[in-house]
A and B are shown apart, each in its own frame.
Chain A
Amino acid sequence: MANSQLREPVGVQWGLRLLAIGYVFMLVAWPTSLIAKYTFADGFTTLRTALEDPVVLNSLKLTAIVALSAVVINTVFGVGISLLLTRYEFRGKRLLSALIDIPMSVSPIVVGLALVLVYNGRFGWFGPTLEGAGLQVIFATPGMIMATAFVALPLVIREVVPVLLEIGDDQEWAARSLGANAWQTFRRITLPSIKWAVVYGVVLSLARSIGEFGAVKVVSGNIENQTQTATLVVEQKYQNFEQTTSYATAFILAFVAILCIVIVSLLRPKEQLS
């Protein structure tokens, strides 16, 4: 306390705090809370009506399938790529590291268009071959999973890589010299050390995947009850003057995302303790 008083006058401290809190409130907290306010304007009726709408239900189901699949894929590949980036030397390593950041910088719409160009069944570079083999990618679930996985790709990796770098490879080498093979070393030494980073990455990926809109809209074709995820329903219902259903669906999405963040903040202190 004595230190912070030495640094700035009390008035400046309070001014800065108010500015920061006001900024976050006006930009994030207030608008988000309005979604909840409109959803519960007449008690639970709006939420119940929305959940009785098959379009909403199907979209939530699809969102769950797409998001969970994308998270599983990104977790497995994310941990693998993280090990590759931190434990091995190879040509093109920096290029790979830069490529992983592309989903962070490119607009999801561009991601969707790019996938359509490669995988669409009529003139895509790879699409007709796949469709010939009976696998439809664009305007179907596989394409939506791919688009979501693409967008959320860096999240697990960016959590796990710093932890792997920090713990170093001494423990892994110690395990190897004690007779453990690569898999035993990973499961018994590496994985327990990066556990919390993986959990944190998974939760972030899940929140990101549930909320994905642009890329999924382009590749899904937005077909009601078939390829429409919850975010797409929010937009459609809003434009079709079914605002209350739109608010309720938006609230469910926001609620799950906030739940993810709460879980993360509960996990974080544990991560620092271990």
Chain B
Amino acid sequence: MSIEISRVGKKFGDFVALDDINLSIPAGELTALLGPSGGGKSTLLRIIAGLESADTGSVSIEGVVATHLPAQKRNVGFVFQHYAAFKHMSVAKNVAFGLEIRKRPKQEVKDRVAELLDLVHLSQFAHRLPAQLSGGQRQRMALARALAVEPTVLLLDEPFGALDAKVRKELREWLRRLHDEVHVTTVFVTHDQEEALEVADQIVVINEGRIEQIGSPDSLYDRPANDFVMSFLGPVTSLAGRLVRPHDIDLAERDGVLGSVPGVITRIQRVGFEVRIGVRTDEDPEVTVTMTKTHARGLERGSKVWLVPTPGAITVPTMPPRALSA
């Protein structure tokens, strides 16, 4: 195991940021810490990096207890949401920083910087200042800078959060490919479930300072532990006391299947290839159903319809077991 976190707790005044976290992050994999803002995932990442200290518990990296080790001795690479580019240094100087601090020979630094700039496709920008780069280029520079010191673990705090949607998607795919090339243990924080599902080998869902579930993207999607995980991983709607994904509901124009719930169509909205239909039932003011344009043909507002979860669909009770026991 590459990173062992045991019983870590952190408070900011009265606010509990992390509550007794236990987590093992496997070596060589890409792990996502996924959760809503303010849920504690960034705090956990900063504690692993040594940028923040835990109130309780311990952190060890590659078998070395790092709990009281200052950031500069942990050999972690850290990438910040807002790049943290050294504004007064050229791109090449930024990347060389960690190596120059380590007093490596000049030629070695030069070669390594060239190699890394090539890896992140910034070779032609080596002599520019960070201010002359786009957001995506700056973040790639920050990544090269972090990788230059050959860190034991690479930590990324919402690395694509400040970029626009298109660049974010490109960089996400690029990060996945890069990781397949360099294989450094990587942990990244995100609040974007699509990003986590697409990029990560393992996802840790964190909410209100606690871990909700740990697993592979597929296992999380197919077997969400509770209503929070299910609703965080994508759109959900509630039908007869259970959470269902809107594309997992069968809509029929007559009552055929046992357990179907009758309702009236209140809204039909087309978004590209997808049609979103709002249905009012006796129990729920609006159940959302999504389907393709072809399937939606002939439906109109005011039609009476019957809804039932598709056979084999994943459903979770809307009432969380936690709340019942409380």
Residues of A within 8 A of B (CB): 167, 170-171, 173-181, 184, 188-189, 192-193, 274
Q: Is B257 an interface residue (CB 8 A)?
A: no
Report whether B84 and A174 are in contact in the complex, using a CB–CB cutoff of 8 Å.
yes
Query: Is B88 in contact with chain A by the CB < 8 A criterion?
Result: yes
Asked if B74 lies at the interface with its beta carbon under 8 angstroms from chain A, I say: yes
Which residues of the partner chain A approach B78 to less than 8 Å between Cβ atoms? 173-174, 177
User: Is B101 a contact partner of A184 (Cβ separation < 8 A)?
Assistant: yes
Other-chain residue from B75, B84, B102, B148 in contact with A173 (beta carbon distance below 8 A): B84
Q: Is B70 an interface residue (CB 8 A)?
A: yes
* Interface bracket on B: 20 to 34
Query: Taking the nearest CB of chain B, how far is it from the CB of A270, in angstroms?
Result: 12
Residue pair A178, B88 in contact (C-beta under 8 Å)? no
B149 A178 Cβ-Cβ under 8 A: yes
Given A174-B80, A189-B86, A193-B88: A179 touches B51 (CB 8 Å cut-off): no
Known: A170-B82, A173-B71. A180 touches B101 (CB 8 A): yes
Tell me whether B44 is interfacial, beta carbon within 8 Å.
no
Q: A174-B145, A178-B97 are in contact. List 5 more A-B contacts (CB 8 A).
A: A171-B85, A173-B80, A176-B72, A178-B146, A179-B149
Nearest first, the 6 closest Cβ-Cβ pairs linking A and B are: A178-B98, A170-B84, A174-B84, A177-B78, A176-B71, A192-B88
The proximity string for B residues 75-107 relative to A, scoring 1 for CB distances below 8 Å and 0 otherwise, is: 111101010111110000000011001100000
Q: Please name the residue on chain A nearest to B94 by beta carbon.
A: A174
Set of chain B residues within 8 Å of A176, measured between Cβ atoms: 50-51, 70-72
Residue ID in chain B nearest A174 by CB atoms:
B84
Evaluate whether A193 and B72 lie within 8 angstroms (CB atoms) in the complex, with A170-B82, A180-B101 already known.
Answer: no
**How close is B232's CB to chain A, nearest CB, in angstroms?**
27
Which one of B77, B86, B146 has the highest number of Cβ atoms from chain A below 10 Å of its Cβ? B86
Q: Which residue of A lies closest to B49 (CB)?
A: A177
Q: A179 contacts B84, CB within 8 Å?
A: no
Q: Can you name 15 A-B residue pairings with CB atoms under 8 Å?
A: A170-B80, A170-B82, A171-B84, A171-B86, A174-B142, A175-B86, A177-B50, A177-B76, A178-B98, A178-B101, A179-B72, A179-B98, A179-B101, A179-B149, A193-B88
- Contact bitstring B101-121, A, C-beta under 8 A = 1, else 0: 110000000000000000000
Contacts of A177 in B (CB 8 A): 49-51, 71-72, 74, 76-78, 146
A174 touches which of B74, B86, B102 (Cβ 8 Å): B86
Inter-chain contacts of A189 with B (CB < 8 A): 86
Main secondary structure of the interface of A (DSSP, over half): helix
CB within 8 Å for A181 and B86 given contacts A173-B51, A173-B78, A174-B80 = no
B78 to chain A: closest residue by CB: A177
A residues in contact with B142, CB < 8 Å: 174
Q: Which residues of A contact B82 (CB under 8 A)?
A: 170
A274, B72: Cα distance in complex, Å? 28
Q: How far is the CA of A170 from the CA of B146 in the complex (A)?
A: 13
- B: residues with CB less than 8 A from A are 49-51, 70-72, 74-78, 80, 82, 84-88, 97-98, 101-102, 142, 145-146, 148-149
A167 (CB) vs chain B CBs: closest residue: B87
On chain B, the residues within 8 Å of A181 by CB distance are 72
Decide: B72 and A180 in contact? CB cutoff 8 A.
Answer: yes
Residue on A nearest B131 in the bound complex, by CB: A274
Contact B87 A179 (CB under 8 A): no
**Smallest CB–CB gap between B143 and chain A, Å?**
12
CA distance A189 to B86 in the complex (A): 7
Nearest A residue to B75 via CB reads: A179
Using known A-B contacts A179-B101, A179-B149, determine if residue A193 contacts B87 with beta carbons closer than 8 Å: yes
CA distance A179 to B99 in the complex (A): 9
Name the CB-closest residue of A to B85.
A171
In the bound complex, residues from chain A placing their C-beta under 8 Å from that of B72 are 176-181
CB closest chain-B residue, reference A181: B72
Cα separation A189 to B50 with both chains bound (whole Å) = 19
Report the minimum CB–CB distance from B47 to chain A (whole Å).
13
- Chain B residue at smallest Cβ distance from A274: B88
CA–CA, A182 and B289, complex, Å: 57
Contacts of B84 in A (CB 8 A): 170-171, 173-174
Please name the residue on chain A nearest to B76 by beta carbon. A177
How far, in whole Å, are A181 and B101 apart by their CA atoms in the complex? 9
Provide the bound-state CA to CA distance between A180 and B74, in Å.
11
| Smallest Cβ-Cβ distance to A170: which chain B residue | B84
Min CB–CB distance A108 → chain B (angstroms): 38
Closest beta carbon of chain A to B263's beta carbon, Å: 51
A181 CA to B148 CA in the complex, in Å? 17
B97 & A175 in contact (Cβ 8 Å cutoff): yes
Please tell me if the beta carbons of B51 and A178 are within 8 angstroms of each other in the complex.
no
Q: How far is the CA of A189 from the CA of B98 in the complex (A)?
A: 12
- Most chain B CB within a 10 A radius of its CB, from A167, A175, A181: A175
Q: Which of A178, A179, A192, A193 has the most CB atoms of chain B within a 10 A radius of its CB?
A: A178
Q: Which residues from A are CB-within-8-Å of B98? A: 178-179
How far, in Å, is B108 (CB) from chain A's closest CB?
A: 15
Look across to chain A and name the residue whose beta carbon is closest to the beta carbon of B81. Answer: A170
Separation of A180 and B78 alpha carbons in the complex (Å): 13
Within the complex, the shortest CB–CB distance from A165 to chain B, in Å, comes to 15
C-alpha spacing A181/B71, complex, angstroms:
9
Nearest CB of chain B from residue A182's CB, rounded to whole Å: 9
**How far is it, in angstroms, between the C-alpha of A167 and the C-alpha of B87 when the chains are bound?**
10
Bound CA–CA A141/B87 (angstroms): 42
Q: CA separation between A122 and B295, bound complex, in Å?
A: 100
How far does the Cβ of B101 sit from chain A's closest Cβ, in whole Å?
5
Whole-angstrom distance from the CB of B188 to the nearest CB of chain A? 15
